[in-house]
């Protein structure tokens, strides 16, 4: 009882009222400014030195805005149609999420899986196919099964898709690996990385667990999905005549593929492929070099792929893969499946409109991110967290892709 009186006195004091008023006013101001949406382009993305990647998708942007400059060229149109209509919920693709994964990747896999379920698959319910080069442990399987209500199947790679083919000189292969390691080439000394690239180049799409599906979405342990995906990308691709989808496009490390372009050209020329139909090939050709043209190293980063499975499980692709496999570059060099898949697209006769850039899928793998906070109707469904968007990096090929005008070009045409 005795301490109530002084307290009451304090509350009634003018000084206290004044202080209370000032503090309330101050916090109201902070609150007000914190939640006022940015009204101009300049206020977007304080953490992103590049600003929004596609400013005029959500808001018009003035011509000449310095943020629109990229490699000296002006983006005058949105990079992709930003408004993908919500597809009919009753439509469903015969598709699976395909994941090559080791037992030791379980922790990373769980993080990726829980994000993937949150942004997309808890709602859409596509099955998962997990593949490993050794049997999955019971612990791995149980933990994954507890993390999703969707169908999960576990399989192993078949031994011929994870070993040296008979024609490979293993002594030479090991010498090459040591040399690449000494040269500091990323994964240059790794045999298992090479097996993985070869598996993804020639085998995953005909694995018995994958073969029953028409479409696949490739996911890797450790990747992040940063935006809610409120529509079905498989159905979208089907309805819009898309065959292959990517989010990140970049330059390959040239030292990993010294002869890939030549070997690809030999294949195309000796099989008469690409003489007429290839409007996409020119995208991959270096603008500066003459004669038969060099590879400019652009490719779609294949750790994320949404594609039609039979694109690869097709006679042309399989003979391309066999040609590459015979040439030995998976082992004597360090050919990645990404440039191989990319170079195959023109060989398979695809045009630009059949390859889709998923602008609205926020994705992070290792140090590279594609994530846009404000894209059309999906505003504020992303958790980009101030990550730097790779799209405007010097080694990104996205701008080249956006600006690419389909042009007939064949291996037979000098530039
Ligand atoms: C983007 O800006 C350009 C130039 O101001 C304009 O012509 C175009 O219609 C805009 N696109 C969208 C989707 O707002
Ligand atoms: C295999 O490669 C090694 C090292 O390059 C070479 O010395 C050897 O002759 C090769 N073996 C065959 C059968 O070609
Ligand atoms: C691309 O190819 C598809 C399938 O052959 C065709 O339907 C479409 O019209 C082509 N688009 C362009 C722009 O050539």
Q: What is the pLDDT of residue 242?
A: 96
Residue range 73-83, pLDDT digits in tens: 223 333 333 33
- The yes-or-no verdict on residue 48 having pLDDT over 70 is no
- Ligand 2 centroid to residue 180 C-alpha, Å: 18
Ligand 2 contact via 169 beta carbon (within 6 Å): yes
- Ligand 1 centroid to residue 79 C-alpha, Å: 11
- Ligand 2 centroid to residue 171 C-alpha, Å: 6
- The yes-or-no verdict on residue 41 having pLDDT over 60 is no
Helices (H), 183-244: 191-202, 233-239
Gap between the terminal Cα atoms of the chain = 95
Ligand 2 contact via 178 beta carbon (within 6 Å): no
CA distance 165 to 168: 6
Mean pLDDT within 64-86: 35
> Which atom in ligand 3 lies closest to the alpha carbon of residue 279?
14
- The yes-or-no verdict on residue 52 having pLDDT over 60 is no
Any idea which architecture 95-403 has in CATH?
Alpha-Beta Complex (3.90)
Of residues 293 and 348, which shows the higher confidence score? 348
Mean pLDDT within 167-183: 98
- The yes-or-no verdict on residue 162 having pLDDT over 50 is yes
- pLDDT band of residue 272 (cuts 50, 70, 90) is confident
74, β-bridge pairs: 69
User: Which segment of 27-41, 224-238, 265-279, 389-403 scores lowest on mean pLDDT?
Assistant: 27-41
Residue range 302-313, pLDDT digits in tens: 999 999 999 999
Q: What is the pLDDT of residue 305?
A: 98
Mean pLDDT within 175-179: 98
Select, from the ranges 21-25, 41-45, 65-69, 233-237, the one with the highest average predicted confidence (pLDDT): 233-237
Mean pLDDT within 271-285: 82
Q: How many CB atoms lie within 10 A of CB 276?
A: 10
User: Which segment of 20-34, 201-215, 357-371 scores lowest on mean pLDDT?
Assistant: 20-34
- The yes-or-no verdict on residue 72 having pLDDT over 60 is no
Helices (H), 35-65: 55-58
- The yes-or-no verdict on residue 36 having pLDDT over 50 is no
Residue range 94-109, pLDDT digits in tens: 999 999 999 999 999 9
The bound ligand whose nearest atom lies closest to the alpha carbon of 78 is 1
Q: What is the pLDDT of residue 277?
A: 64
Contacts of 156 (CB under 8 A, 6+ apart): 131, 132, 133, 134, 135
Mean pLDDT within 117-145: 96
**DSSP letters of 108-155?**
HHHHHHHHHIIIIIHHH---EEEEESSPPPHHHHHHHHHH-SS-EEEE
CA distance 303 to 215: 15
Q: What percent of the chain has pLDDT over 90?
A: 63
Residue with tokens 């006022």: 36
**Which long-range contacts does 182-186 make (Cβ < 8 Å, 24+ apart)?**
183/255, 185/253, 185/255, 185/256, 185/334, 186/253, 186/256
Mean pLDDT within 84-93: 61
CA distance 96 to 171: 39
Q: What is the pLDDT of residue 409?
A: 75
- Ligand 1 centroid to residue 76 C-alpha, Å: 7
Closest CA to 44 of 59, 27, 62, 63: 59
Q: What is the pLDDT of residue 379?
A: 58
Closest CA to 224 of 248, 191, 240: 248
Q: What percent of the chain has pLDDT over 70?
A: 77
305 included as an active-site residue: yes
Q: What is the pLDDT of residue 128?
A: 97
- pLDDT band of residue 47 (cuts 50, 70, 90) is very low
Ligand 1 neighbours, Cβ below 6 Å, are 56-57, 60, 78
Strands 249-251 and 298-300: antiparallel
Q: What is the pLDDT of residue 377?
A: 54
The bound ligand whose nearest atom lies closest to the alpha carbon of 242 is 3
Of the listed 305, 366, 394, 403, which one is catalytic?
305
Q: What is the pLDDT of residue 386?
A: 81
* Average pLDDT in the chain: 82
Q: What is the pLDDT of residue 275?
A: 66
Q: What is the pLDDT of residue 304?
A: 98
Any idea where the domains of the chain sit in the sequence? 95-403
Rounded to a whole number, what is the largest CA-CA distance in the chain? 102
The predicted model scores a pTM of 0.78
Q: What is the pLDDT of residue 30?
A: 59
- The yes-or-no verdict on residue 170 having pLDDT over 80 is yes
Ramachandran quadrant class, 10 (left: phi over 0; alpha: psi -120 to 50; beta: rest): alpha
């Amino acid at each position: 009882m005795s301490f109530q009186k002084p307290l009451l006195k304090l509350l009634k004091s003018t000084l206290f009222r004044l202080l209370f008023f000032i503090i309330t006013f101050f916090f109201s101001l902070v609150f007000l400014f914190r939640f006022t949406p940015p009204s101009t382009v300049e206020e977007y993305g304080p953490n992103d030195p590049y600003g929004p990647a596609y400013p005029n998708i959500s808001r018009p942007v003035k011509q000449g805005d310095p943020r629109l400059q990229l490699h000296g060229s002006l983006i005058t149109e949105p990079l992709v149609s930003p408004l993908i209509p919500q597809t009919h919920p009753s439509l469903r693709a015969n598709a699976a999420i395909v994941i090559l994964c080791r037992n030791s990747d379980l922790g990373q896999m769980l993080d990726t899986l829980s994000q993937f379920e949150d942004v997309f698959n808890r709602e859409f319910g596509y099955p998962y196919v997990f593949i490993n080069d050794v049997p999955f442990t019971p612990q791995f399987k149980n933990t994954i099964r507890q993390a999703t209500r969707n169908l999960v199947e576990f399989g192993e790679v078949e031994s011929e898709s994870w070993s040296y083919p008979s024609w490979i000189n293993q002594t030479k292969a090991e010498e090459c690996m040591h040399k690449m390691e000494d040269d500091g080439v990323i994964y240059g000394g790794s045999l298992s990385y090479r097996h993985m690239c070869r598996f993804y180049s020639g085998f995953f799409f005909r694995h018995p667990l994958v073969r029953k599906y028409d479409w696949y979405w490739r996911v890797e342990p450790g990747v992040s999905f940063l935006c809610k995906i409120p529509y079905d990308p498989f159905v979208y691709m089907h309805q819009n005549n898309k065959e292959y989808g990517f989010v990140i496009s970049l330059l390959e490390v040239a030292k990993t593929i010294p002869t890939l372009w030549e070997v690809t050209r030999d294949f195309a020329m000796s099989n008469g492929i690409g003489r007429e139909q290839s409007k996409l090939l020119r995208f991959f050709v270096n603008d500066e070099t003459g004669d038969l043209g060099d590879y400019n190293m652009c490719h779609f980063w294949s750790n994320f792929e949404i594609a039609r499975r039979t694109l690869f499980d097709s006679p042309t692709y399989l003979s391309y893969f066999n040609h590459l496999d015979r040439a030995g570059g998976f082992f004597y060099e360090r050919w990645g499946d990404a440039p191989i898949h990319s170079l195959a697209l023109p060989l398979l006769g695809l045009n630009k409109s059949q390859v889709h850039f998923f602008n609205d899928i926020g994705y992070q793998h290792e140090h590279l991110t594609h994530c846009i906070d404000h894209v059309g109707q999906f505003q504020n469904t992303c958790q980009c967290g101030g990550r730097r968007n790779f799209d405007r990096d010097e080694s990104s090929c996205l701008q080249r892709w956006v600006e690419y005008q389909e042009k007939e070009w064949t291996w037979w045409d000098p530039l």
